Chains A and B, each alone.
Chain A
Amino acid sequence: MGETPRIGERVELLELSDVWLIDPAGGREGRGSLRVEDGFVTTVEWVDDVPAGWTAPDPMTTDVGQSRPSVLVAPAFIDLHVHLREPGREDAETVATGLAAAAHGGFGTVCAMANTTPAIDTAGLVEEELAAARGSGSPVRLLPYGTVTAGRRGDTLSHMGEMADAGAVGFSDDGSPVGDASLFRNALTYAGALGRMLVEHAEEPALTKGAEANEGLVSTVLGLKGWPAAAEESAVARDLALLAEVVASYPASAAPRLHLTHLSTAGSVELVRRAKAAGLPVTCDVTPHHLAFHEGWVAGDRRFAWEAPVTPWSRGDADAPPYDQSTRVNPPLRTPADALSLWGGLGDGTVDAIATDHAPHTQVDKLVEFGDAAPGISGIETAFSLVFAGVAAGLLPLQAAVRALTAGPARVLGATATVALGRRHPRGPLTPGLVPGATASLVVIDLDDTWQVTGDTLRSKGKNSPVLGRRLPGRVLATVVDGRFAYVDAGMAAELVTALAAVRAG
């Protein structure tokens, strides 16, 4: 009789037969089997290899003429944007709980934002962050960001070079923009020479002073101070103009790289679309909550962005009371039309990645007046389910969604991830593929099963989710990172034990 696999334990044997395989790096999708032995992928068999570019007419049930197997196997997800709160706010999240939450969400790699207390602005703090990850016992890879400015104060540059040497994967003052355009330009140039990207939270602060919700119909009716779309779009436009200028004026060795995180409006996506067409070195991500929710959620609507919203005049149809603090987030939940254009951006490749902006908060910081509630959603565990709900509604092929959670963010990180990981992770770079011989980093999800989001099922300390209490589609059965178990669902664990016992007996 075997034992339930423990977190961090090497995968002795994982036999996944008749599953739906997605290998976004190779652009392959189809029915097949996969076997992991002693932490390595030993066999990948494609039975019905779906042609490249093929789109399932009905993602829920169809493949080539037969029903899709229930279980999806894909490379473990990569999250470009999480807040782990350590050091400083261990009551809201720790590196250990954050990584456990990530694994529960199917993520094998997370990039941790630097807006902790103190902010991660020196090499020593970067090393502490990495040490905390090692000490957590979780195999989930943590890639730390350093701040752009010292203390995240926005006036002078942080110790970028030292932090890069210590393993910082990029630089970001996330939580706030780099408001000073001159400093932003310098940071972009300097980080470029270090081979690191700048991750920018695009927001024009003069337009968002005291802002509580998206400026529009809902903010007008609820009397909330508006956060206009133009506050994001004008900042994106500024950032892109400065990027173009740096690209044109500096030697190629400076190679600036700009990544715009949590874009939330149709206009922002359009600006990036044009910038990419012009060949600028820019990438971007969107969050699951901006894809699935919309401003109506602040007013108590609980329909997804692709479902018909409740109008403010028919508030009697709303599902929840208004002013739910869990819907307060920065940037704010936008209109359903904005959400749909984010899906469009994923579809045409303008948007490179889905990143969660996982922002756990304590109840003390959330159970206050709406406008005083700490902005942010605890979202890493519900990310796949929300995206899959959109896939099920026909907004994006499943493979494209998986790509935005794996190969997309891997490409954004590019060589920097290899450099940063090479130093800390002997197993080497991110491998978002299903390749025999590679160390196993993969996620196993039952697409036809659901799970209930509750305070207990969420591993994160942050229970601040607008879908708390709700059943969502797509249940993560296991997450394997670098050949080790990062998460195993209880039911799956029992099966594994039986299977392993059978193999041993045989």
Chain B
Amino acid sequence: MTPGDATTVEAGVRGDAAEARVPGEARSVVEVAEAPEARSVAEAPEAAAARTTAVTRRGAVGRARTRAPATTAGWTHRHLLDVDGLSAADIDLVMRTADEMKEILGRPIPKVPTLRGTQVTILFYEASTRTRVSFEVAAKNLSADVVNIAASSSSVSKGESLVDTIRTIEALGADMIVMRHSRSGAPYLAAQVFSGHVLNGGDGWHAHPTQALLDLFTLRERLPGGQVAGRKVVILGDILHSRVARSNIWTLTTMGADVWVCGPSTLLRGFDRWAAAAPDGRRLTVTTDLRAALRGAHAVMALRLQQERMASGLLPSLREYSLRYGLTAETLRWARADALVMHPGPMNEGVEIGPEIADFERSVVTEQVANGVAVRMALLYLLAGSRTIEEERNRG
């Protein structure tokens, strides 16, 4: 497909939806409302009928379907607050949608009009560069209007409550809120008062859904056969304080991976209980033994170790940590020869990950960042469509 074709295709797919819009009123969620069945890959009979109409109106659609993002049909989540409620089918849908988004990213102009008119507010209560920028790029690639709110520069620092902040953002026209907060569970509170969609960009120690999904996407791309089920994936380091670890435990065990979490005993507190409660079919192992964890591993994900862990008496020193749990060329030898090295960033080179490993040929750290945009585009797209699905249902 030539770049020119791609543009035409996009116009074709979105075009009929655009026609349906009431000028100046409907937001792009309405656009999606009209579109999903037309874009459907696996279709119900009535959806097929709808597509026929679309085809009649738009000659180019037939071909478009093969290249357009997968349907949002089957996606029933209004918010993405955690990954614990996502089924394997949900996750598959995210992955397939992200595949399509990645194709869009490969185009000379990686921009589609899907979320035109949708206001995405990025509300970050914690400092972050990569996640915030990744969301911003993802939203802009989908033509959303992006509003950035950093907690330090808003009335949040004047003591405004989260609930009031969310209500204010809603009054300013936000359709979706991407939120990062230092308190576990804060996005649930936002979702309780916001009438649009809330996308958790990381809350406390609890969850970082988009990170886990982009990690999974990266593993699917890079593991032999694209297969995650049955592969041994090690999460290494400060598990206790890590939302990345928690979310990865959910997504990876849901997809059938053999997940090992490894780190100093003080940073594994409570995880034994979690592993012990795992039902058949979920494989989660907790160990302080790095060698046992790495043995036969297909992928190793090192987590950032923060200085404050020393201050709170959980570890004697960074040096001791890196000697015992640092991922280096030497310790990586215990893993499979083709083991992938991952890191959610930002990295402390020389602490949890040796500099020789960080830009190692099997390191997929920069791919994780690039894939992050595709996965976040997929999630923004799916969530925007989910409201429509509900509305359709209510109407029916």
Residues of A participating in the B interface, judged by any CB pair closer than 8 Å: 212, 215-217, 219-226, 311-316, 321-323, 325, 364, 367-372
Q: B184 contacts which of A217, A224, A364, A368 (Cβ < 8 Å)?
A: A224
From A223, A224, A225, A313, residue with most partner B Cβ within 10 Å: A223
Are B163 and A217 in contact, with the CB atoms below 8 A? no
Asked whether, in the complex, the Cβ of B270 is within 8 Å of the Cβ of A313, the reply is: no
Give, as a whole number of angstroms, the nearest-CB distance from B242 to chain A. 9
Q: Does B78 contact A (CB under 8 A)?
A: no
List, in ascending order, chain B residues with CB within 8 A of A225's CB: 205
Interface residues of B in 378-392 (CB under 8 A from A): none
Contacts of B271 in A (CB 8 A): 220
Q: Are A212 and B273 closer than 8 Å at their CB atoms?
A: no
Q: Does B58 contact A (CB under 8 A)?
A: no
Q: How large is the interface on B (under 10, 10 to 19, 20 to 34, 35 or more residues)?
A: 20 to 34
A222 touches B277 (CB 8 A): no
Question: At the interface, yes or no: B192 with Cβ under 8 Å from chain A?
Answer: yes
Contact partners of B282 in chain A: CB under 8 A: 313
Q: In the complex, how many angstroms separate the beta carbon of A215 from the nearest chain B beta carbon?
A: 7
**CA separation between A313 and B373, bound complex, in Å?**
29
> B65 near A: Cβ within 8 Å?
no
Report the nearest B residue to A367, measured CB to CB.
B163
Q: Is the CB of B206 within 8 A of A223?
A: yes
B279 touches A223 (CB 8 A): no
With A and B bound together, what is the CA distance between A53 and B63 in angstroms? Answer: 82
| B interface residues, Cβ below 8 angstroms from A | 84-85, 161-163, 181, 183-186, 188-189, 191-192, 203-207, 243, 246, 269-271, 273-274, 277-279, 282
Determine how close the nearest CB of chain B comes to the CB of A160; give it in whole angstroms: 37
Assess the B189–A371 pair: CB atoms within 8 A: no
Q: Can you give 26 contacting A-B residue pairs, CB < 8 Å? A: A215-B269, A216-B273, A217-B277, A220-B269, A220-B273, A221-B84, A221-B274, A222-B206, A223-B203, A223-B205, A223-B243, A223-B246, A224-B185, A224-B206, A312-B277, A313-B279, A314-B279, A316-B85, A364-B161, A367-B163, A369-B186, A370-B185, A370-B186, A371-B185, A371-B204, A372-B183
Which residues of chain B are within 8 angstroms of A215 by Cβ–Cβ distance? 269-270
Cβ B270 vs Cβ A311 within 8 A: no
Rounded to whole angstroms, the CA-CA distance of A370 and B184 in the bound complex is 7
Given known A311-B279, A367-B163, contact A226–B270 (CB-CB < 8 A): yes
For A321, the chain B residues whose CB sits under 8 A away are 188, 191-192
Residues of B within 8 A of A222 (CB): 184-185, 206
User: Contact: A369 with B181, CB < 8 Å?
Assistant: yes
Residues of B within 8 A of A325 (CB): 189
Residue of A nearest to B184 (CB): A223
Most chain B CB within a 10 A radius of its CB, from A219, A364, A369: A369
Assess A313 versus B277: contact at CB under 8 Å? Given A219-B270, A223-B243. Answer: yes
Q: B207 contacts A223, CB within 8 Å?
A: yes
Once the chains bind, are B181 and A217 in contact (CB under 8 Å)? no
Given the contacts A315-B84, A367-B161, A368-B189, A220 and B184 also touching, CB distance less than 8 Å: no
| Contact status of A216 and B270, CB under 8 A, knowing A221-B246, A222-B206, A370-B184 | yes
